[in-house]
Amino acid sequence: MNPESMRSPEPPEANPPGPQENRTRSGVFLGTFLNIRFYLDYSWFFIVALVIYTLSSFFFPHELAGRDPAVYITMGVFAALLFFVSILLHELGHSVVSQRCGIPVPSITLLFIGGLAEISREPDDPKTELKIAIAGPAVSLVLVVVYHAVAWGFEAVGIPEGTAVFRWLSAVNLMLVLFNAIPGYPLDGGRILRALLWLYSGGFRRATFITSRIGVAFSWLLMALGVLLIFGGQWGQGLLFLIIGSFLKSAAESGYAQALSREFLDGVRVRDLMTHDPVCVPAQLPLNLAVDDYFLTNHHMAFPVVDADRRFRGLLRLDSLKNVPRERWPYTLAGELADTHNAHLGIPAETSAASALRLLLIPGQGHLGVLDEAERLIGIITRHDLLHFIRIHTELED
């Protein structure tokens, strides 16, 4: 299982607009190798325990009867750790080729579901994409052969415990290759097919559309299988299929959204799409008056709050008003409330539209203030503005 390699749509900018920094990784930092930061997601600890438990309680006792429980546990731990090393090597395969092609890989995270190489942007041409996509499964195939040879070696010298562990490792890596061979985006097979379609038909968006549809269809199939397994009493496996299916589905859908934004938002700046000189709430206004004079008369869900010199203080959102008891409204200033959660809700006017979209797609963050060099508010941009822009272009093309 390894539907990895989600790639963010474009290179990190020289001065990234705030909220990205807020998205701290939920995981343990392992170290840096080849300029790549390695992380273990917290969910990994759960899955590694589950793999060790399954192997040492069921799989190995079934393969090799009559050993001491400590032997099975040792085999389970060893096999589980090498399994995750295999996933790391698969991700490193993608990452090293990506870096060779000039696309930096800031980090690799091991998740419950496999690995995730953060490739900083989509390749510019189909051949690069093809090379990066093939590299991971190629590494896994080599591992299948190597583990098989090691299992054979253990068999030759008469150590059946070693044989069992390395046979399992070889089989599980083969499954990884087969799973990734499914031609649905974002699996490696989907990326390979996308690169080929892109190469021979010329359209990046069309190729992404087709392969992400296959990816979505496959994810539905996995989820349906999960439901069947749960009804059949195998709830553990069923649940795993459901989780993997829904993860794949959202990755396939967001992959297509990224392809659209790449095509239509390329070269577009926030300045080009923002609403100029929006209605602003003065920072010194008490909340009760802000509600009466702005929310009840203008029907927006959020207003920028500015000081007397138009310096941006933050956004006053309708939902954040709920955090203040109504009887406190006359004594709380709009600026005070905006300060409490503003820090990063303003972006420079020169930010690319694609990275603004990425920020605006964060749940609960549909608006951003647009600022000039002196941090004064010059406009506002919403998720709706950007999606509308993309939709118009899509409609005009099809």
Closer to Zn ion by CB, 122 or 188: give it: 188
> Whole-number minimum distance, CB 3 to Zn ion, in Å?
8
Please say which residue, 3 or 27, places its beta carbon nearer to Zn ion. 3
CB of 105 to Zn ion, least distance (A): 13
Can you tell me the distance from the alpha carbon of 188 to that of 1, in angstroms, rounded to the nearest whole number? 11
Closest CA to 125 of 205, 186, 195: 195
Q: Which of 146, 141, 142, 94 is nearest to 115 (CA)?
A: 94
- Which lies closer to Zn ion via its Cβ, residue 136 or residue 314? 136
Shortest distance in whole angstroms from residue 191 CB to Zn ion: 8
Cβ closest to Zn ion, residue 88 vs residue 305: 88
Please identify the residue of the shown chain whose CB is closest to the bound Zn ion: 136
Enter the tokens of residue 14. Answer: 């020289």
The contacts found for 44-48 with CB under 8 angstroms, 24 or more apart, are 44/84, 44/110, 44/111, 44/112, 46/112, 47/112, 47/113, 48/80, 48/81, 48/84
Smallest gap from Cβ 39 to Zn ion, in A, equals 17
> From the CB of 189, what's the least distance to Zn ion, in Å?
9
- Residue among 89 and 324 whose Cβ is closer to Zn ion: 89
* 3 state DSSP class of 272: helix
36 vs 27: CA distance, rounded Å:
15
Which two structure tokens, joined as six digits, stand for 138? 């190629």
For the bound state, the minimum distance from the C-beta of residue 245 to Zn ion, rounded and expressed in Å, comes to 18
Q: Determine phi and psi for 260, rounding to 5 degrees.
A: -60, -45
Token pair for residue 35? 């300029």
Closest approach of Zn ion to the CB of residue 226, in Å = 22
Closest residue by Cα to residue 186 from 233, 246, 249, 144? 249
Q: Are 147 and 170 in contact (CB under 8 A)?
A: yes
Q: Which residues bind Zn ion (CB under 5 A)?
A: 136, 188
Residue 208 CB, shortest distance to Zn ion, in Å, is 17
**Could you tell me the smallest distance in angstroms from the CB atom of residue 91 to Zn ion?**
7
Nearer to Zn ion, 50 or 141 (CB): 141
Query: Which lies closer to Zn ion via its Cβ, residue 118 or residue 188?
Result: 188
Cβ distance to Zn ion smaller for residue 163 or 211: 211
Q: Which of residues 97 and 169 has its CB atom nearest to Zn ion in the complex?
A: 97
User: Residue 28 in contact with residue 40, Cβ under 8 Å?
Assistant: yes
Burial of 231-268, coded b for 16+ CB within 10 Å and e otherwise, reads: eeeeeeebebbbebbebbbebbbebbbbbbbbbbbeeb
**Least separation in angstroms between CB 149 and Zn ion:** 23
Residues near 19 by beta carbon (within 8 Å), at least 6 away in sequence: 344, 345, 359, 362, 365
What is the C-alpha separation between 143 and 97, in angstroms, rounded? Answer: 17
- 196: tokens are 């080929």
Confirm if 10 and 121 have CB atoms less than 8 A apart: yes
Joined tokens for residue 204: 């990046």
State which residue, 128 or 163, has the beta carbon closest to Zn ion: 128
